[in-house]
A and B are shown apart, each in its own frame.
Chain A
């Protein structure tokens, strides 16, 4: 009985973890300023890669490991996040970000096809830990500007910046 209960709890916890790990996603109709038509497949790939970058960001800021940014971030976005991780490490703190929902809109596609910009009205939880002890947990609603540029096999985040919502 107790073994079955444990298994059930494990399954439920895993299911719950899976559910919380998947943020809800809303994609607004693109409002592009561009002379270049954005192919559906290109837009989807950019959004997929951007959402994936949140996982990398979450893990990197929680574990204070800048190396985890390598696959998803490039340029100033990578430098800024790496600097944040360096500051966190120096201060003995870490932050846990958990994105809950994204409301995305593609807003710019450069004429030569080498950058895509999108906005994201994102809801996330952030937890502050100092020396491993939780100091606060907050729910945040913020708006982000994201510029992605193509790398060898995927889009990488080059600019990742919050703006007033």
Chain B
């Protein structure tokens, strides 16, 4: 029985100490207030005074009757930051400080995905950075779990889990083998934000051409130009045909049309034709009439 009373008393003492710590001075302000929450301030004394709440993020002022409790409705003070409550009466001024902290529930995400377009098959080629905000657009500074997810046209899904620290988190993803549009999504709590990332074919791979005679001329035609993952290289990509004959060279640049490039060239007997596209060198053909 005595032990039980001792425990009860001990508990009361601890609770009162916590209360005293939570509510600092005579204004009875808590040390922290969640952004947008209602709160009240005691105004000890008598007579008229002005109550100021000042911070870099917000300023409020109330004319008050000392001895009353001043009530601030929900949504009055919503910008996170350090604030001073200044109670200025005719004869004295009292000041207390407190912090307005963001709500822990994510409500807004500022998500930047880069690049918006890249070649297929790039390890860590796609990056995403996110800042996590509460409903009042305060950066949530407590560690907050976030997840990143990249869905590619082939159905492949890459996932990364991260913790936003000081409001920020990031992730990197690989571009996959198939060209098309990826969806890059970040989630925090029950909100998400999505960006589209375009995967375009990579450099040409295994370039090959054939040659045929057309009157006095030679017609050079490439096979369908593809990257190393089999994606058709974009139309408009330049293919360079070169003729080397008797120590001199002539070149023709031709854009891909419908996946292939074709040129008609005055050919000399014994000339050597070669083809190149980007970093890819194709085959060579010796022209013999």
Contacts and interface: CB of A to CB of B under 8 A. Distances in A.
Q: In terms of DSSP, what is the predominant structure of the interface of chain B?
A: strand
Contacts of B100: 162
Interface stretch (B47-55, B224-232, B236-244, B262-270): B47-55
Interface in B72-89: 79-82, 84, 86, 88
Interface of B: 31-32, 50, 52, 54-61, 79-82, 84, 86, 88, 93, 95, 97, 99-101, 112, 114-115, 124, 127-129, 131, 137-139, 141, 165-170, 172
Interface in A34-68: 34-35, 57, 61
15 contacts: A33-B165, A80-B79, A93-B54, A110-B129, A110-B168, A112-B115, A130-B88, A135-B86, A136-B88, A138-B84, A140-B97, A147-B131, A161-B81, A162-B82, A163-B101
Nearest to B60: A87
A136 to B, nearest CB: 5
A84 B58 contact: yes
Interface in A140-154: 140, 142-143, 145, 147
Interface string A64-77: 00000000000010
Contacts of A159: 131, 139, 167
A162 B56 contact: yes
B56 A57 contact: yes
A111 B79 contact: no
A145 B139 contact: yes
Given A136-B93, A142-B82, A161-B81, A35 B56 contact: no
A130 B169 CA distance: 42
B206 to A, nearest CB: 33
A164 B127 contact: no
Per CB-CB distance, the 3 closest pairs between chain A and chain B, nearest first, are A162-B81, A111-B127, A110-B129
A81 B56 contact: yes
A97 interface: yes
Interface of A: 33-35, 57, 61, 76, 80-81, 83-84, 87-88, 91, 93, 95, 97, 107-108, 110-112, 114-115, 117, 119, 126, 128, 130, 135-136, 138, 140, 142-143, 145, 147, 159-165
Given A81-B56, A162-B99, A135 B93 contact: yes
A111 B139 contact: no
Nearest to A88: B59
A107 B61 contact: no
Nearest to B86: A136
A164 B121 CA distance: 44
Contact of A95 (B59, B79, B95): B59
B59 A93 contact: yes
Contacts of A87: 58-60
Contact of B52 (A80, A108, A114, A135): A135
Contacts of A138: 84, 95, 97
A163 B99 contact: yes
B99 A117 contact: no
B118 to A, nearest CB: 12
Contacts of B166: 107-108, 117, 119, 145
Nearest to A122: B82
Contacts of B114: 111-112, 114
Given A110-B129, A140-B84, 8 more contacts: A33-B170, A35-B124, A57-B56, A111-B172, A130-B61, A147-B168, A159-B167, A161-B79
A147 B141 CA distance: 12
A160 B60 CA distance: 19
